[in-house]
Chain A
């Protein structure tokens, strides 16, 4: 769900930069207030994880691929604002160095995967996990559900941003100027892969890492 350059028109990618900047500002402030310098290596690790897990493209029927993002996991372990920074940096490096996701779409891609992915994942995890023991099974279920919903929220947003293009960006002759598929195609196309498959991959990755930490370093699970 790395939207490339050329798929979103200026109105959309401009709006999405505008929507993302407050999250970056807020995340910086939150980190400044609450994040301890000694946590820096952990967030660097989280960002590295997000970067590399997104390289694991998984094929599904229909000839397309998808991947996990790690946003929910990082948000669960280090907080949603820290996760926004970590996943944003991974997304920005992917765009700048590897052409994965457009530079015009950095605002949109960070909004979808970093901001919404992290906040949704964190919120759902807290909701389900609150009051349970760090080593409990409920934490694993909470992590899995949070990861599943988080990735699907990100995918749905990308689908909406792509799907509104033919409505708002047309040539005088009525031809779409950017992403040509309407919402009635983009939403099912993105939702099916993520609801039926990639969401479960994200859930499994998140629960597995949480399980490992429960066994080996329960103090890392807040």
Chain B
């Protein structure tokens, strides 16, 4: 097997293991990253929601917010499945986009 195939298998394993990035913080009762709070969390932290933040925070509605399938039920099992699916979708789109960009940009050098 070529090295790149083996490395892709490694990416696949990481995608399947990705719910660890959800489950382990949940086990320790950790929230999100520092400085990435929701408006509700912000209100709890400082007692108010900054006005500009209030306006800007919902400027974009992502289709799979927080690496979850929209409308999915709560619970670590379902959330883990949504997380794996998000990993697979994200990996496919990211890799596909970079492949296309690089092919287009690097085409002048041909295939030597």
- Residues of A in contact with B (beta carbons under 8 Å apart): 1-7, 9, 28, 31-32, 34-53, 55-60, 62-67, 82, 85-86, 89-90, 93-100, 102-104, 158-159, 162, 169, 171, 175-181, 186, 189-190, 193, 213, 216-217, 220
Contacts and interface: CB of A to CB of B under 8 A. Distances in A.
Contacts of A190: 34-35
B93 interface: yes
Contact of B65 (A9, A37, A99, A102): A99
Contacts, number: 228
B76 interface: no
Contact of A59 (B28, B53, B95, B111): B28
A66 B25 CA distance: 10
16 contacts: A6-B53, A40-B98, A44-B98, A45-B4, A49-B14, A52-B11, A52-B14, A57-B33, A59-B27, A90-B90, A93-B90, A98-B62, A98-B90, A104-B56, A176-B50, A216-B3
B90 A65 contact: no
Contact of B64 (A64, A98, A189): A98
B71 to A, nearest CB: 15
Interface of B: 3-4, 6-8, 11, 14-15, 17-18, 20-22, 24-25, 27-36, 39, 42, 46, 48, 50-67, 83, 86-87, 89-91, 93-99, 101-103, 105-112
Nearest to A88: B98
B90 A189 contact: no
Contacts of A4: 36, 57
A39 B106 contact: yes
B60 A99 contact: yes
Contacts of A175: 48, 50-51
A145 B67 CA distance: 31
Contacts of A181: 35
B33 A66 contact: yes
Contacts of A169: 52
A3 B95 CA distance: 23
Contacts of B51: 171, 175, 177
A45 to B, nearest CB: 6
Contacts of A56: 14, 17-18, 20-21
Given A176-B50, A177-B51, A45 B25 contact: no
Contacts of A51: 87, 90-91, 94-95
